[in-house]
């Protein structure tokens, strides 16, 4: 049983690595969360919190975005996410499609990453539109399917099918953390991996 002592090129690796991916979290705000019907709200909040913690553990560039906070028509990102991503400054916008906001696109491109791990509410609006536009511009998009939800199960499922047909690469948050960790010999992130995956913090 021998693990390779040399990590595959983390930039060119076809799989996700901490060096070739960025995390996009869009519109996890109270109004959007409260209107979900395709997944338990409690489960969704737990999953998106795990995703935020994964981003922090593996030091992924994070682009956090909200809609209509500055206009006073919506509340900021839920605290479960911002309590983890304390350094991420939300990019507020008025467009439903985040890719139609110049500041958002500029922030994504500034990461220098072509693999975009995406979670947004709702699946049928704030995930599907920027994901399709990003794919059209040559990015690889990985929707985290258990960290997104819609106003109905049909709307959620149809949007994920449309995204996959366009070239999106569905992933779960557990698959993601395993893909980023990849080897138990990468000891620096093992304790955090175990804490997130097995929810053993405080025990």
The enclosing domain of 109 has a CATH number of: 3.40.50.850
Q: Is 15 domain-assigned?
A: no
Residue 81 to residues 29, 30, 44, 125, 135, Cα–Cα distance (Å): 10, 12, 12, 20, 26
Would you state the torsion angle of the CA atoms of residues 24, 30, 39, 193, taken in this order, to the nearest 10 degrees?
A: 50
7 found inside a domain = no
Give the pLDDT score at 198.
86
Q: What is the pLDDT of residues 68-113, one digit of tens each?
A: 999 999 999 999 999 999 999 999 999 999 999 999 999 999 999 9
Answer whether 50's CB lies under 8 Å from 173's CB: yes
Residue 200 has pLDDT above 70, yes or no: no
Domain that holds residue 187: 21-198
Does some domain include residue 6?
Answer: no
Residue 155 lies in a domain: yes
Please tell me the total count of domains within the chain. 1
126 is catalytic: yes
Q: Please, which residues bridge with residue 22 across strands?
A: 116
Is 117 a member of any domain? yes
Flag whether 4 is in a domain.
Answer: no
Packing angle, helices 190-198 and 41-57, rounded to 10: 180
In a domain, residue 9? The reply is no
Is 2 inside a domain boundary? Answer: no
- Is 52's pLDDT higher than 60? yes
Catalytic option among 44, 54, 126, 196? 126
């Amino acid at each position: 049983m021998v693990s390779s002592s040399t990590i595959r090129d983390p930039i060119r690796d076809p799989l996700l690595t901490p060096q070739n991916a960025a995390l996009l979290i869009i519109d996890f705000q109270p109004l959007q969360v409260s209107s979900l019907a395709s997944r338990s709200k409690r489960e969704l909040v737990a999953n998106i919190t795990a995703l935020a913690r994964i981003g922090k553990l593996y030091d992924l560039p994070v682009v956090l975005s909200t809609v209509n906070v500055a206009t006073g028509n919506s509340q900021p990102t839920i605290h479960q996410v911002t309590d983890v991503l304390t350094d991420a400054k939300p990019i507020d916008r008025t467009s439903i499609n985040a890719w139609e906001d110049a500041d958002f696109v500029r922030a994504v491109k500034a990461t220098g990453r072509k693999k975009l791990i995406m979670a947004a509410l709702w699946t049928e609006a704030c995930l599907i539109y920027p994901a399709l536009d990003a794919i059209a511009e040559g990015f690889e998009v990985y929707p985290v399917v258990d960290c997104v939800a819609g106003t109905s199960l049909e709307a959620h499922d149809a949007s994920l099918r449309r995204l996959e047909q366009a070239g999106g690469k569905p992933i779960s948050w557990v698959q993601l953390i395993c893909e980023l960790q990849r080897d138990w010999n990468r000891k620096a992130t093992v304790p955090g991996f175990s804490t997130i995956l097995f929810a053993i913090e405080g025990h």
